[in-house]
Chains A and B, each alone.
Chain A
């Protein structure tokens, strides 16, 4: 392997052209295509055939390029997405259909999806849904929930008419074309040729002391290996984190590793040397120690302490209390209680963490996939002990994030490597190290008791949740904080006490994942609501309507919304589907047999933005002398559509069509801080900043001609024209001074949602707005095999105002797919499910049709009334599924995932044959 003479020449046709390459034996075709032949449209998501992102056509047949030796392609015809787009009209029609349906969200799986779909379309010009799912079953998508992809493939050639782009219109993604043509650039697509390659040395044990051998000798003995990084190379603090007071995760562990997969060192070398590098050759000696990996183990007497000052490994807790829960439960006519649990859930975005860094004029510049560029900068300031001015973060396109890419992962390694070597250094996590080392959804153990009076009104709720936060804090405090605020669900409960604890263990850090603990708490609360309704003899939907939060009624935090509470509207919207589904299930079950059908509903709410903390976004825009309108958009688009939504809002506020806005960013050098993409805040918070910026810039233009507010601004042909009625004034921008960025007029506006601190009882104003949701699902349970198959979802979401209804549907369908996965199949077990064939996420065959009912209960704080949406979606999904299983079988599942094995055991216990 150390002998380059072992490379062999191979020739094949790539997208119609004969290519020749010299690659070592055993090199994967995917690697050769990307690194030797420049085909960066071939994406690598797992390197194991589990995700299909690298699908290419070899002699017309779709194959995973990661499972084929480059030499095996000798003489073959290899086609990738970009080549298909150039050569095959069918591929272009498919691209158009993908755009029209927004079948691409982050776009990372899109090349694999489209290549597989082209192979299908070549054989079957008008495929049905089953043919599409069979053909695309080998490509995983984590964003879309697949239904838009199915729609796009079955309706190729029947593109709907274009729409205006105004707020409320379902325009295509503004950054979509590069995604469907294979031109988008993700974290692993941007490194310059010749960049050094870095790999991380990680602990193979959940807890171990370790000592390095001769590191200098190791470097000297391995030609091509340039450097090793350890904690000793960190000029600043060897610590990062996201919440002040909880900055406790080292970049490189020192002396003791606290979870399996924790980084202890990095090796940097030439691409060739790193291909030949075997991590087991690295000089480090491990001494495994007994770990504590569950809340019970970690809080037991004598348990090893993970961090000083956190007695019994309890990192923090949260509490919300109003009225007198105990007294209310005593006077309730009916009381139900239950204990619920869930495991680690992996984000499983298809793009593993990747990027590169280099030094530019004494500055460190990091190019990487991220949800929070300015927070990355904040971390690097401390780690590198450098000023903000010397650190630049240039986000690449992000192949999905869902919360985990808020935290830094590769960024500190890259920055340290660039500093140490002075050269461009790149890294791409393997799927396994991505799964081992980045944050997860918190495992939960929840106990709750809820009461009601005979008239169906809630009467007291007690709730406690323990959350396994893993080895480091990450967003654990946020989870501990948010859960008690949200555990009531969107209901009026006067007497309430909810507490939570986040507990350190020797597991991967649990952090932010779509919903921050609320999906877990909703499972308990919404399941118990069904149990209460059953005891009361009430219809579950009516029971929820009786108790739904209203305008003017206090939440459990004592916050009173005078407007914008949309849960009643969501629940009411489900009624027709509910009645039909109940009747259909009854008719189906009357036939008897092992298959039983049931329908379940559940609701949810979610406060948009940080909890009672400042949470500003700033958006900047400028007008050039030639009339060019430029938007500096720093709100990270991780597939959810911020690039499109923020631009739509800005264009509307400024008063021009959306296609006249040139979008820049994100880049910490050119985009002001639009905050992190998390907490469903971008549409709401950055959207407001964009609205304010658009309005301010509009005012500046109108002032030039003293035109009234409702005048029309027209851009084009290097001119700006302001017209009112039939009068038109050309605005002379040429007289204005041009600033350093080339603008003659500019606006930079900040929006920070109005919140107030919570007191010790959690009373206050945690959020300026909540979004609301209610889901209905019909499931079929195979009672003999314990298999649960969702057949249809109906999802009602109050989004205040749908800035782009297609993006709303995309969020809803994608969130439901993740909720379905959490409910039925997903559990991350450190050391056991560290890949995408043991850790199962839903495939295209697992997601049934999803009908989205958009409810628009406008919010006074939202831009054009809009509310956040991302997290809301998967909150009701899992409990709705569990309630449907109960309706179908009479059996209550309290532990997720409800795998066939687990469901069957519960059915047997309930007496099923």
Chain B
């Protein structure tokens, strides 16, 4: 046992293949989860693997290396469709967390309140998973299975998040509701990717976090928004559109509040899309 920080994927997969290995990237979830309990297994640090960090253009889309930090997202020169992801990146914990915490780590941690998930859902993110058996690709929806549960197999590593190009003219938005300004776990959050033409919505993707075991898109609402003007869109959000959300009541808020707040956050996202915020 010990700390391994391989610089080739081969080495990394070898170490992983031995079993009893804990994968470490930014550490911002790994260490708090560990608490004060002793470390009794090997650690595989994936942050030095080639191609694991950075944002690149790749066949009609984008590739975000698994160990790309949230601060890298904040600083990257990206199209307006990424504005929501960038806004979420700025709200991942604090500057300190953003400087080490990674995009794939946020997904692998599979918290219902992961800030990165809703905007990545609106960007139709897919995960690239590597193992000795090769590479497989899973949509983000199929990767996070439940609270702290993913489809990652023991011999796999997430190597990247890939994103197709967004619809023409689409701009990303993100709204996180919390009880304080910084360092806050969200009560609820909404990400939107919305394109307008001549004052009407021509494309809409909306995703909600912290209101179900796994953050999810709202396909009913997305469909209903197509063709809407601002007034129609704001007036048209109803309980039917929130089907599938199953918020819990906890110390941060009760379920009823969460549902209402999501509807209001959706309205504000739409207002923002129309330039109103």
Contacts and interface: CB of A to CB of B under 8 A. Distances in A.
Interface of A: 1, 3, 6-8, 24-28, 47-50, 52, 55, 58, 61-64, 66-69, 71-72, 74, 116, 119, 133-135, 137-140, 275-279, 430, 432, 784-787, 824-825, 827, 829, 832-833, 837-838, 840, 842-846, 899-901, 904-905
Interface string B159-178: 00000000000000000010
B43 A69 contact: yes
A825 B179 CA distance: 6
B261 interface: yes
A904 B257 contact: yes
Contacts of B43: 25-26, 69, 71
B3 A8 contact: yes
Given A8-B2, A71-B5, A26 B181 contact: no
A256 to B, nearest CB: 26
A430 B96 CA distance: 21
Q: Which of A58, A138, A279, A827 has the most CB of B within 10 A?
A: A138
A899 B45 contact: no
Interface string B82-100: 0000000010011111011
Given A67-B97, A900-B261, A843 B39 contact: no
Given A64-B28, A71-B43, 15 more contacts: A26-B34, A28-B31, A49-B96, A66-B31, A74-B5, A116-B96, A138-B94, A138-B183, A276-B38, A278-B37, A785-B264, A843-B182, A844-B182, A899-B253, A904-B260
B251 interface: yes
B143 to A, nearest CB: 24
B38 A275 contact: yes
Contacts of B42: 25
Contact of A64 (B24, B30, B38, B97): B97
A840 B47 contact: no
A626 B38 CA distance: 56
Given A67-B28, A69-B24, A71-B5, A837 B251 contact: no
Q: Which of A52, A55, A67, A134 has the most CB of B within 10 A?
A: A67
A282 B43 CA distance: 26
A25 B39 contact: yes
A899 B254 CA distance: 11
Given A138-B94, A824-B179, A901 B257 contact: yes
B27 interface: yes
Contacts of B18: none
B182 A137 contact: yes
Nearest to B32: A48
Interface in B170-229: 177, 179-185, 187
B253 A901 contact: yes
Contact of B96 (A64, A787, A840): A64
18 contacts: A1-B1, A24-B39, A49-B28, A49-B93, A49-B94, A67-B26, A67-B27, A67-B32, A69-B43, A72-B47, A137-B182, A138-B95, A276-B38, A785-B177, A838-B185, A840-B179, A899-B252, A901-B257
A197 to B, nearest CB: 12
Contacts of B77: none
A825 B181 CA distance: 11
B240 interface: no
Report, nearest first, the 4 A-B pairs whose CB atoms are least far apart. Answer: A138-B94, A845-B181, A137-B182, A26-B39
Contacts of A64: 28, 96-97, 100
B87 to A, nearest CB: 13
B27 A69 contact: yes
B59 interface: no
A19 to B, nearest CB: 17
B153 interface: no
Q: Which of A63, A71, A138, A905 has the most CB of B within 10 A?
A: A63
A48 B37 CA distance: 13
Nearest to A60: B99
A786 B257 contact: yes
B3 A846 contact: no
A248 B183 CA distance: 39
Given A26-B43, A47-B31, A837 B183 contact: yes
B158 interface: no
B71 interface: yes
A69 B46 CA distance: 12
A784 B261 CA distance: 8
Contact of A842 (B30, B32, B35, B180): B180
Contact of A116 (B38, B93, B95): B95
Nearest to B181: A845
Contact of A837 (B5, B90, B185): B185
A278 B38 contact: yes
Contact of A72 (B37, B45, B99): B45
B1 to A, nearest CB: 5
A825 B3 contact: no
A25 B3 contact: yes
A830 B261 CA distance: 27
Interface in B12-46: 24, 26-28, 30-32, 34-40, 42-43, 45
Contacts of A829: 251
B3 A55 contact: no
Nearest to A46: B32
Contact of B182 (A278, A845, A900): A845
A140 B47 contact: no
B66 to A, nearest CB: 15
A62 B95 contact: yes
A134 B97 contact: no
A900 B177 contact: yes
Contacts of A134: 90, 95
Contacts of A430: 35-36
B31 A137 contact: no
A432 B35 CA distance: 10
Given A26-B34, A837-B185, A845 B95 contact: no
Contacts of B3: 8, 25-26, 69, 71
A51 to B, nearest CB: 9
Nearest to A52: B96
A786 B251 CA distance: 16
Nearest to A74: B5
A61 B26 CA distance: 13
A843 B42 CA distance: 36
A277 to B, nearest CB: 7
B182 A61 contact: no
Contacts of B35: 47-48, 430, 432
A67 B31 contact: yes
Contacts of B253: 899-901
Interface string B231-270: 0000000000000000000011110110011001100000
Nearest to A594: B264
A825 B252 CA distance: 9
A63 B261 contact: no
B27 A138 contact: no
Given A6-B1, A137-B94, A140-B183, A61 B71 contact: yes
Nearest to A54: B96
A519 to B, nearest CB: 19
A49 B181 contact: no
A49 B32 contact: yes
Contacts of A58: 99-100
A335 B133 CA distance: 78
A900 B187 contact: yes
A138 B96 contact: yes
Contacts of A49: 28, 31-32, 93-94, 96-97
Contacts of B251: 827, 829, 832-833, 838
A903 to B, nearest CB: 10
Contacts of A66: 31
Given A67-B28, A67-B31, A900 B38 contact: no
B97 A69 contact: no
Given A25-B2, A26-B3, A824-B179, A901 B187 contact: yes
Contact of B36 (A27, A47, A50, A139): A47
Nearest to B249: A901
